[in-house]
Every structure is written in structure tokens, then in C-alpha cells.
Structure 1
């Protein structure tokens, strides 16, 4: 893929490139990284006029230290890992498994299990988790209209449902009918939850009133993913099995079932959305085996009348490979800014993310893959900069530490493993376990 010719490419370069007097432009070639020695010399000479490294200088240096060494074992379970996430400050890590366990690890204490939660009334698997902004409460969802909330700020380590503490059930159905929740997120103020469900809807749950405050029929098929577009929390993004990404403005939710905008381009269902956090850009993973980068300002007010692409075959991503004849198809109304290919989105709702702003300037995007690997792409060039191989089953989720060159991959083989930048290639001091390979048969 050629270099991205869009405003976001310039923004990304500004956030992750050193002062222009240190850069070396070579016509016809990608700009080469500036050496650490040259940057230190520039700081001593005060090229920037600040007398110190700028945030972009720091990102330029840190973004070269990719978390590709290892892996080192964090935990092994006899159950598929479905979801995982770092807390906002990186001090905690949460992983949810199909066999009912949700484990919270204290990253700063050598990845010690701080709390082992046994999920209540689980249906199929833990489909999503979300940690409240104050990091005291965790919600978890499954293929049920009941979302449970647990206090994770207490001192106990073990947390068995309704034995040592209460798992409050939040009923999203408001009418007793059954559906599953694929995605759930705390609002930025921690007072509400937003969820995407198998009944094609988005729900908003008011935690103070303890009730559903809004239900919107958002898509014509399963809503696989929801998230907020920025820290303010007015814009909600959603993606579904109708192949569409939609933008919802909470200030205009009175117009029931009417999104603020629609973005067309995926040929198959959308499995996950991650926002860049600026209210403009987001990425989505699709069952068409692509990640797409979107600019919200390009959205349409309605779905094009012929947005579906005609195909003369039937396939199911849960058990079939993607048809080879579809790999080079392009949607005639594609509104995406860029497309990234190489990974595999099959069997499960595989997740993708922007790399951290603090350490990389969000110059990479990364994703799990059905082919048991983690892929890291350069946002601007589209190049695959790393493929992390260890697991023996699909990698459904993976997470980059918000401040350090550390990435955790979680797989259906039950392994949580840590990838880091380690100059010597030896295991970091806080990680005492070496990876022990084992094979599962499903």
C-alpha cells in the first residue's frame, strides 16, 4: 500500500517525528529514524528551543522499541481467553476466559493475581469486560441480557459469585426477552454503560437510576462492538454484522434509531472498533479480513441505496475460510481512508487497536488473528512491521501497555503471554515464568 495521503498521516508524523532540523529527508525513500545519539546532541544544542525533548521527540525514540521480544508467560488456563485489557494507567490487567474466570493482575507487583472472579450465570463465555474510570468496579457481559458488576477495589483476592461478595445483575432487557451482549463500555464519567447486543440494538444503562435509559435499534443485524469516540463521551461508535459502522450523537438520541452518520466500506461484518480518542478517527476490524481506517467527517447521513455487494456464494466465518475470489474486492462506495490486510478475522470477533499515544504517537495499529499471531501495521505506510508468533490457537485479543513497550496477547489456547522490548533478549526481572508450549485440541 502506498503512503497514506490524508490529514491523519501528517498528524501522525507530527506526533511521532523529531524536530525538523534533526530529520534527514531522502527523496524517493521513507524517512529514516533519527539516531538516539543525534537526538541527544540536538537536545544539548537546544534545536527545539525548549531545552528538552518534546512529546514528539520521545515518541520518535520510544516507537522504535517495539514489543516483539519474548514471549514470556503471564498465565496459563485450561480455557479459551476471550477478552483482555490494561487499565487506563497500566497498573492492572484484566483477562476473561470461557471457563467463567475473570482474572485481574497487578502489573506493578510482578503480574500477581490480585483478584480471581468467578463469573455468575455465564452463557457461553465472557464476551466483554469494562473497568470503571476510577478502577473500582468491573462489569462483565456474556450471551445474556444481564450484565454483572463487581467491586474490584476490596481487599479480598478470591471472588466467587454470591459467596464472598455480590455480583449485582443489571438487566438490559426491561421486558424479560433473551439476547446476548457482545460489547459493553463504561461512560467517561462512570455513571452509565453503553452496550451492543445480538438483538441489533445499542443500550444505555443509567447506573444511578438502575435501569435502561435508552434502547436504539442500531443495525439490521448483531451489534458486535461499541465504543466512545472521545473523552467527552457524546459520540458513540458502533459496528455490526450488517457490514456498517455508525456514529451516534448522544445529544441527538431523541431521533430514535437515527444515527448521526454511516460509514460504508466493509464487505462483511464488523467485529471490533477502536477510537483514536480525538473524535475524528477510528479503526474497525472486519470479517472481510481487513482493518479499515475511518474519518468521521466523511460519514454519510444515510446508507447508500445499493451498499450491498453482490456475491454468488455463501460462507460462514465461524467455520469456513474466506473465499479467495473475495480478497481483492473493493466496495464501490468505500468511504474508508485506508485499508490494512494480512491478518485473518475468522472463527471469533477478533479485536484491533491503535498503539499508545504516549509512547508511539499512535503511529501503529495492531490486531489479533485467527492464524494464531499478532500483527502490527504502520498506520501511514500500511506495512506489516511485525508478526508475533507463539500461540497454537486464534488470538482474539491483545493489548499494548499505555506507557511501556509491553504487549499482552491472549489466545484460545489459554495462554496469556507478554512481549517486550528487551535488549538482551532475557526475561524481564518481574517475569519469572518462561513460556511452556502445550497444545490444545478443539
Structure 2
């Protein structure tokens, strides 16, 4: 057993935890993560004991408030799990209201860590940063530099001072968000410094690869990127140079992220249908993966970490999200998936019916979530916020123009948000409030909320994309 594999296994607190059932793509989960999710999103045990509510979830909000006022738990306040138990039932499904509409496809969107800013990247060289706390006013309007095809990804630094954006080129550009200048036209009104992920002699007219995914580390000192040359790159922002390049996969690396705040572990997902785990502490003379997560039948479009260095989810072109525990990963780092026996391209073809229910015989995932569609573009998926939901849900965009929300433990689809007329490539849940923003290829940024009423601000007619 490799040193990296042994190190990760030592982090396990129990054995014998497994997926015990799977019915029509909806997984019933009996694993440590289900217990962790319940601990984070269930009310305090004493409160549940005093206010049983016939033993069914959820406990009445009125009874929980009465228990808090009566100090039944002896703390005089709600615990974080009490808050999650209350907030997680108020899903952001009302609406939507239109935040903005552009003339080109929306490719990426994200809230800042504190939820005060929202970033949206569009195909026609445009990035907008909205100030959420000031009524979604545009704080910075960015015109990107050296764009090829589209903005492929954006990432805000943890302190919200800088934004990086990537395109189908080996140059990542960085913008000063806090400069005070609203209009930021690359190298005209503001410098967009180019960070070289290839040789300094790079020729813009003959680019060698493009970057599909870029993320800041939690401390803001590094960037990790996944590229079309099957590689992972780590860029040291303080030294202003590449610190690591790994020939990681056998096809495009569509998604990368740091696993937790330490920055030691990196997750990657590729068109070779594999997710891989990289432990930088264990790199020697050969930079090899700590392990491989086998289960998808088609390429990976996105990966999202739970933030604990153990669990992640991935969206796949096999029309499924998978939940992973890296302690169950394979040490067979040379594993190669069997080539498919049918001709299919997700960009313009429907997924073949005869393989929809097919399962990888070597599947190591904990659970599979199905219902959404992953076609035409690299659809993204996420864990719901820890603060307000205890990460009780998984949500994703979809090529059928909707947003889907699944329960992590039961696998059940708990909500479907319909409004857009084109694929929803990205969507993001506010870290603290019951607000979700969807961004579609129709150029619309739509905001969904829990309003507390049955009144919906949905326009009678969807505005024209060209209006």
C-alpha cells in the first residue's frame, strides 16, 4: 500500500459502511456521511426528545421556538444544527426574479464566500460582479482579454480582492476587484495581468491548450487549474510562477479543486471518466495520484468538495452525479476504462437509451443521483451550504433548462426549478440565505428565494434574449 493511500486510510473512523440499496438511480445511503449530515441538520437531541412530534421529521418550528424560549436545552439558544433543521426546509424555490440578461450565454457564476458579491461570466468576453448587499447593483463590469470561445471559469480570492478568469488558452488573467473602477476593460482602463501556465514564448495565434477550470486555494496563495492537455497545474501567486504540473489524465481535465483548507489534497475530473485524488505531501520523484475514483461511464464535467478532505461529488456525461468517499478509492492508478461500444457525442446527441441504466462493474461511489441531464455543455453541481442546510442537499444545473435539488441521504429529488429556455450550465446557492441563482445559455441570471408566501414574481412572459 502506498504511503499516501495509508495516510488517507488512517483518517477513517469506522469500517463496514456501505451503500446498501439502489433503486432506479435513487440511492439509499448507509454510510458515515449520512450520519454526519443528520448531525449537522437535525435538532438537538434533547429538543427532539421533549418535542417528539410523533417521531417524524421535521420538528415543528413553533415547538422549537417555544423550546428555545423555555430554555429546554439549557443553552438558551439554537445550536447550528437546530438552525440548519429550520432553514433547510425553506428551499429557494419561489420565483424567479431576473437579476440581469445579456446577449450571450452565461457560462459560470458564483457567490463570494460571504455572499456579498456574485460573479457571472458570459461567452462574449464579459464578466460582471454584482453587489448583493446593495440590491444586486453592478460593482464591476469586466471586459476580458484574449478570449477564445468563452470564459471557461472564474474564481474569487477568499478576501474578495482579486478575480481570476480563464479561457481556452494557457493564460489565466487576474483582475483587482477592489480597485474602485467600475468599468474594467483589459489593459485599456485597467491592467489584467496574465499568469503564464505555459512557456513564456506562448503564441496566442497557435495556442497549445486551454484551461477549463481554475480555483483559488483557501489561503489565496495558489491557483489550481485543469486543462485540455490532460494536465493539472498549480500556480504560486506569491512567487508568480508555476509550482507544479502533473500529466494527470488521458483526456481533458474539465474540473479541479482543492479538497480542503490545507491545500494538500487536490481533486480532478476528466473526460477519461475518472476522478483522481492527488496528495502533494506524498509526491516523490514521480508525481502519481493517491488513488482513482471509478464509477462514471462517461466524462466528468465538474467536481465539488464537501470541504472536509474526504467527500466530493462529480457530475458526469452519463447523466448522473456520484458521491465519493476518498477512503474507498482504488490504488490502481493505471486503471483504464473500457472504450465504449457505441458512437456518441454529448454536444449534439441525446444519451443512448440502451446505456441509461448501465452500471460500471467497478463502481466505487457511495451513491448515484439521477434525473437531470448533462448534454451540450459542462454542467456543474454542488453541495448545498453548510451554514443553512448542513450540506443536506446536492444541486445541479441541467441541459433541459432546469435546476435540480436532491437529498444527499435518500437520493430523492426534492425540487426542480423551471424558468430558463436554454441549458442551465451553472447555479449557486447563497452561503447563508435561502437564495439560489441560476445562469443559463439564454443569457439570463435568475434569482430564486424562499419568500414565505405563495406569491411568485415570475414574469408573465420570458423576456426575449435579444431585448
TM-score range, shorter chain: over 0.9
What's the counterpart of residue 145 of structure 1?
A: 170
Structure 2 runs not aligned, ≥5 long: 1-25
C-alpha deviations, 1:260-306, integer Å up to 9, x for none? 1111000000100000001111100000000000001111212475x
Aligned residue pair count = 433
The answer on whether the counterparts of 2:109 and 2:426 sit within 8 Å (CA) in structure 1 is: yes
Which residue of 212, 215, 234 corresponds with 1:182? 212
1:363 counterpart = 2:415: no
**Does the 8 Å CA contact 2:256/2:266 hold for their aligned counterparts?**
yes
User: Displacement, 1:439?
Assistant: 4.9
**Following the alignment from structure 2 to structure 1, what is the Cα–Cα distance between the partners of residues 53 and 314?**
32
User: Is 1:66 the equivalent of 2:91?
Assistant: yes
Map 1:86-101 onto structure 2 (within 5 A). Answer: 86-101=111-126
**By how many angstroms is 1:257 displaced?**
3.8
1:40 alignment counterpart: 65
2:331 corresponds, among 293, 301, 305, to 301
**Residue number in structure 1 paired with 2:238:** 208
CA displacement 1:177-233 (0-9 Å, x = unmatched): 610000001122212211000000001112222221211000000000000111111
Report how far residue 254 of structure 1 moved.
Answer: 3.4
Secondary structure in structure 2 of the residue aligned to 1:166: coil
Equivalences for residues 44-123 of structure 1 within 5 A: 44-123=69-148
Call closer, same or farther: CA 1:426–1:107 in 2, change over 3 Å: farther
Residue aligned with 2:403, SS:
strand
* Distance of 2:182 and 2:83 partners within structure 1: 38
Tell me if the contact between 2:27 and 2:367 (Cα under 8 Å) persists in the aligned partners.
no
Aligned position for 1:233: 263
How far 1:22 moved relative to its partner? 4.1
Deviation at 1:423, TM superposition (A): 1.5
Please tell me whether residue 324 in structure 1 is matched to residue 348 in structure 2: no
For the 8 Å contact 1:216–1:256, the answer to whether it is kept is: no
Q: How far is 1:44 from its partner?
A: 3.0
User: C-alpha distance in 2, partners of 1:389/1:343?
Assistant: 12
1:438, distance to aligned residue in structure 2 (A): 3.4
Alpha-carbon distance, 1:434 to partner:
5.4
Of 253, 258, 276, which residue of structure 2 is paired with 1:223? Answer: 253
Residues in 2 aligned to 1:249 and 1:266: alpha-carbon distance in whole angstroms: 22
Q: TM-score, normalised by structure 1?
A: 0.94
* CA RMSD of superposed structures (Å): 1.8
Q: Assess if the C-alpha contact under 8 Å between 2:28 and 2:367 holds in 1.
A: no
**Distance in 2 of aligned mates of 1:189 and 1:20:** 36
| Rounded Cα–Cα distance in structure 1 between residues aligned with 2:384 and 2:451 | 18
| 1:419 aligns to 2:448 (yes or no) | yes
Deviations 1:331-380 (A, max 9, x none): 11100000000000011110000000000000000000000000000001
Deviation at 1:134, TM superposition (A): 1.3
Aligned to 1:244: 274
TM-score (norm. length: structure 2): 0.89
Contact 1:16-1:56 within 8 A present in 2 as well: yes
Match of 1:284 in 2: 314
Aligned to 2:20: none
Tell me how far 1:46 sits from its aligned partner. 2.8
Report the Cα offset of residue 40 of structure 1.
1.5
2:224 is matched with which residue: 189, 194, 201?
Answer: 194
**Whole-Å separation in 1 of the counterparts to 2:324 and 2:265:** 15
- Matched-pair contact (CA < 8 Å) for 2:108–2:120: yes
In the alignment, which residue of structure 2 is the partner of 1:336? 365
Deviation at 1:26, TM superposition (A): 6.7
User: Compared with structure 1, are the counterparts of its residues 382 and 156 closer, same or farther at alpha carbon in structure 2 (3 Å cutoff)?
Assistant: same
**1:399 aligned onto 2:424:** no
The structure where helix makes up a greater share of residues is 2
In structure 2, what is the equivalent of residue 135 of structure 1?
A: 160
In structure 2, C-alpha distance between the alignment counterparts of 1:319 and 1:78, rounded to whole Å:
22
CA offsets, 1:133-188, max 9 Å, x none?
11111100000001111101011111111111101111101263610000001122
Partner-residue secondary structure (3-state), 2:28: coil
Could you tell me whether the CA contact under 8 Å between 2:27 and 2:369 is conserved in 1? Answer: no
Unaligned 5+ segments in structure 1 are none
Query: Matches of 1:25 and 1:295 in 2, distance apart?
Result: 34
Compare 180-189 and 91-100 and name the one that shifted more.
Answer: 180-189
Q: Secondary structure at the match of 1:284?
A: strand
On the 8 A contact 2:228/2:252 being kept in 1, the answer is yes
SS in structure 2 at match of 1:294: strand
Q: Secondary structure at the match of 1:144?
A: coil
Name the counterpart of 1:125: 150
Distance 1:248 1:303 in 2: 11
Aligned mates of 2:178, 2:158 — CA distance in 1: 12
Distance between the aligned counterparts of 1:352 and 1:279, measured in 2? 18
Q: Aligned equivalents of 1:134 and 1:204: distance in 2?
A: 19
Is the partner of 2:215 in helix, strand or coil? Answer: strand
CA contact (8 A) 2:107 2:425 kept: yes
Residue 155, structure 1, aligned to residue 180, structure 2: yes
